[in-house]
Amino acid sequence: MKDYIRLLSIFIIGAFFACEKDVCKERICGQLDPINNIDWLKNALERRPFCTYVYSFRFSNREYISIEDCPGPDHQIDIYDCNGEDKCEIGGYSGGSYCNMPSGFTYDYYMTNKKLIYEKP
C-alpha cells in the first residue's frame, strides 16, 4: 500500500510539472496563447466591448477560429482561418451574408465540433 501511494504521488507531481512546461496546453493556429499572440484576433476582440465567445475547430484538415456574439436576436458568428481571413458569417441582423468554407461544411458540424478558448462576459 505504501508503494502504491508513493507511485501515485510521483504520477500526480509529474503530471503537474508536465502541464507547467506547456505539454498539456493545446496550440491553436500554432500559438499557445492565441488571444494574446495572434494580432488579428487580439484586435478583433478589442473592437468588441460586449459579451463575446471565441472557439476553435478543425474542418477539412484546417484550423479555424470563430468569434460569436452572445445569444440574442442579432447573434452573429464570424469564422476566420488562421491568417485572419473572414471565411464565413452566420446570423446577425442580415441573417448571414456569405460562407466561403470548404465543401461539406455545415452549421451542425460547427456546433458539434467547436471548442471554447475564450469568453468575454
Dihedral of CA atoms 106, 108, 110, 111 in degrees, nearest 10, equals: 160
For the whole model, what pTM was predicted?
A: 0.75
What's the pLDDT score for residue 59? Answer: 97
When the pLDDT of each residue in the chain is averaged and rounded to a whole number, the result is: 81
pLDDT tens-digit map of 24-46: 468 999 999 999 999 999 999 99
Residue 27: CB atoms within 10 A of its CB come to: 12
Phi, psi for 102 (deg, rounded to 5): -60, 155
AA identity, residue 100: N
pLDDT tens-digit map of 82-98: 999 999 998 876 666 78
